[in-house]
Amino acid sequence: MNQTKTPEQRAQELLEVMSQDEKICQVTSEMIFDIDDGYENRRDPLLGSYRNPGHFMHQDRKTPASPSEVAKRINRDVEISVKAQPHGIPPIENGEALHGAQWGMCTNFPQPIGLASSFDPGLVERVGDVIGRECAAVGVRQVFSPVVNIARDCRWGRTVETYGEDARLSGDLGAAMCRGLEKNGVIATPKHYADNFAFGGRDSNYSETSERTMRETVLPPFKACFDAGAGSVMAAYNGWDGVPCSANKRLLTDILRKEWGFNGFVVSDYGGVEGLRSSHRLAHSDARAAAMALKAGLDVILPFRWFDQVKQALEEGYITEEELDVNVLRILTAKFRIGLFDAPFVDPEAADKTVRCDEHKKLALEAARESIVLLKNNGVLPLDKTKIKKVGVFGQSALLIPIGANYSGPYRAPWQGTDAPTPLEALKEYLSDMAEVEFYPSGEIETAAPSCDVVFYFTSILEGEGSDRSDLRLPKIASHENRDDEGGLIVDKAKQSISDDQEDSILRLCAANKNTVVILQNGAPIDMSAWIDKTAAAVESWYPGEQGARALVEILFGKTNPSGKLPVTIPKCVGQLPLVYSFKPTGRGYAYCDNDGKPLYPFGYGLSYTSFSVTDAVLSVSSNGAAVSFIITNTGKTGGAEVMQLYLGSHDCAVVRPVKELKAYSRIELNAGESKRASLKLSKEDLSYYDEDMVFGLHDGGHTLLLGASSDDILFSFEVEVKNGSVKKA
């Protein structure tokens, strides 16, 4: 307990006096779903990690547990463990925090795919800071977030959890989230390491990804998170290169620790170690599976107690106590690093003042404003509040707080916030007595829509863990899904019954009222081919969070200018998948016989209510890399923000390179008529690549720098050349 020593020194001294059983306890964990009077009798107080009980406190209550109640419960959890431990080792209370602290009714931000549309790492770090505060306030000290898997096939149900298809954007935003969490003493745990889905968007399927693609695309976002201070990482369910990720020494030791210098600890995905036996059929017993994982570099087996299995592994010689010491030392070091030994308890009263305070809800609104993408607008938007007398609202998601069903609330209890409106409520709140706002079932389209000044259709779809899709179209009438957790365990069961044929309803609305605006509420691209040409406008709102409905209404009526950009490519139809902007050249062409192979909307795309011009673009080259400076002017009549993007296209290199890759970007806010000079810079690392021997470096080659407003909207291009380690203008 000598605080003048380093966390590593303190951990080593403690390890030396621990018994073997104490050590085993540190690598295992516990999750108990039912929090009742018998909870403490069922809980093993000696284990090293627990799914925080706050996550399960709300399911049978008429009103959710308050932050102070949760804090007291977690304090009690920690107290029981500290008193029971021979050396008073406090446990790590962990949980989820995908887009908000998930232990209860905490501030609910846009889903990650929406946050990615902001192209704003500073915003995401502030969001991470709030999430970290609301976790730390009740004693949750590790979260299994962010998800930095690359969404290369939008059929993957967990696309909503990601920051999109681009490695640079995902790495930047994942790192920003980690910085925000970690500054509060909350251990960030990027996941799922690595390449957690396979061809067809199938979750957790065996990865056929080559080492080159892993190095170029899949692994960089994880490395960015570790460079930003993430103290843990979650191993994925799937296998890669012949070995499941939970026991993949190449991933968990050779790359993660020896190559990258990661000094944190690795946790399994829930049931991932058991999967070495049950799913991958690699181990003949759980004891053998435990040893395989621990020896490969995994440190904590989640989520249920595996004391007996690890004990058996030691007794049968699958693992030695000296090998186990390596795992335990990393866990103890992390606990000392975050101050868990020195301040294991929290102030319950302070938790009530922190969670969902006005400052946090204000940030949720700001984040929602930046996350919404305007896809199409024939001039109907923005609406004039003074000229609208009647608004028709259709689609069942208009009646729901737009947070999405994925990791959005505590176990078996919906997220609640009396000051978080549904879209219908937000429209009525904004228009007040100025206009009539009515919700209609789709059966009344022909009778109700013609008399409205504008009609909105809010789409519905079920997505998330265990809900991969083979069809990108909106679900139709009688579409019903009632799925189990699919291994997610805490995701619970998700149910959905679509009340109408959504595509048909949109087409009928367009025929009945020329001012039809479709509001997409989803976490991954939708096939819009049947109706997009007929709508007046289309808005990709994703799931914008607890204040998202207010942000959406502000954008529809021009109080806020839309500025979001797509972090994924939107295909015309499912047959084009996988479809990403950063592909490598083919030996022939790109088109299909029935379409040109181009996306409906490209990566980086998003409309505004104003216009921008870019002039005086200039390339400069130095010993540190290259930069493109330019003047950007808001040439419209309203203030707004543009996200300028700098892509790199390479040629004459030692290996085939992508046709273009995002390397730099900047969100630039301008008043009407205002101009600014801005610059986007590329480092030597940005111009480097893996050669034919898989050596990363500043190898010879030519590079085209592409400055634009999306991956397809390129305004200027410049040529640079790398020769013998030097960068120069071509």
Residue-range domain boundaries for the chain: 371-576, 612-729
pLDDT at 489: 62
Rama region for 513: left / alpha / beta (φ>0; ψ in -120 to 50; rest): beta
Give the tokens for residue 557: 């009526």
Question: Looking at domain 612-729, which CATH architecture does it have?
Answer: Sandwich (2.60)
pLDDT at 363: 98
619 backbone dihedrals φ, ψ, rounded to 5°:
-95, 135
pLDDT at 397: 95
Hey, what amino acid is at 224? A
Cα angle 540, 463, 443 (rounded to 5 degrees) comes to: 70
Q: Which residues contact 111 (CB under 8 A, 6 or more apart)?
A: 98, 99, 160, 161, 403, 404, 406, 523, 542, 543, 545
Give the tokens for residue 268: 């399994």
pLDDT tens for each residue of 369-413:
999 999 999 999 999 999 999 999 999 999 999 999 889 989 989
- 700 in Cβ contact with 691 (< 8 Å): no
DSSP code for 397? G
Q: Model confidence at 467, in pLDDT bands (50, 70, 90)?
A: confident
pLDDT at 198: 77
Longest dimension (CA), the chain: 79
pLDDT score of 477 more than 70? no
Separation between Cα atoms, residue 52 and residue 39, nearest integer Å: 12
Q: Model confidence at 485, in pLDDT bands (50, 70, 90)?
A: very low
pLDDT score of 605 more than 90? yes
483 backbone dihedrals φ, ψ, rounded to 5°:
-110, 155
Separation between Cα atoms, residue 579 and residue 573, nearest integer Å: 10
pLDDT at 546: 98
pLDDT tens for each residue of 504-551:
999 999 999 999 999 999 999 999 999 999 999 999 999 999 999 999
When comparing pLDDT for 230 and 36, which is higher?
Answer: 230
Range 638-658 average pLDDT = 97
| Residue at token pair 């989640």 | 302
pLDDT score of 487 more than 50? no
pLDDT at 486: 44
Separation between Cα atoms, residue 85 and residue 494, nearest integer Å: 39
The CATH superfamily holding the domain 371-576 is: Glycoside hydrolase family 3 C-terminal domain (3.40.50.1700)
pLDDT score of 495 more than 80? no
DSSP code for 710? S
- 702 in Cβ contact with 653 (< 8 Å): yes
Q: Return the HEC string of 2-37.
A: CCCCCHHHHHHHHHCCCCHHHHHHHCEEECCCCCCC
Range 281-302 average pLDDT = 97
pLDDT score of 291 more than 80? yes
* Average model confidence (pLDDT) across the chain: 95
pLDDT at 197: 83
Separation between Cα atoms, residue 348 and residue 362, nearest integer Å: 23
Hey, what amino acid is at 3? Q
pLDDT at 13: 98
Task: Give the E-state strand segments of 260-346 in sequence order.
Answer: 265-268
Separation between Cα atoms, residue 357 and residue 182, nearest integer Å: 20
Range 684-697 average pLDDT = 97
Range 264-288 average pLDDT = 96
pLDDT at 464: 83
**SS3 of residue 199 by DSSP:** helix
pLDDT at 514: 98
Select from 171, 169, 220 the least CA-distant residue to 711.
Answer: 169
pLDDT at 594: 84
Select from 206, 222, 331 the least CA-distant residue to 275.
Answer: 206
Cα angle 595, 599, 600 (rounded to 5 degrees) comes to: 95
Percent of the chain exceeding pLDDT 70 equals 96
pLDDT at 171: 98
* β partners of residue 614: 632
pLDDT at 36: 86
CB atoms within 10 A of CB 378: 10
In terms of DSSP H, where are the helices of 502-593?
Answer: 502-512, 548-556
pLDDT at 475: 87
Long-range contacts of 55-62 (CB under 8 A, 24+ apart): 55/95, 55/96, 55/102, 55/103, 55/104, 55/410, 55/411, 55/490, 56/32, 56/410, 56/411, 57/104, 57/410, 58/104, 58/105, 58/410, 58/411, 58/412, 58/413, 59/410, 59/411, 59/412, 59/413, 61/413
Separation between Cα atoms, residue 195 and residue 380, nearest integer Å: 42
Answer positive or negative: Cα dihedral of 200, 176, 717, 603: positive
Separation between Cα atoms, residue 399 and residue 107, nearest integer Å: 20
In terms of DSSP H, where are the helices of 528-593?
Answer: 548-556
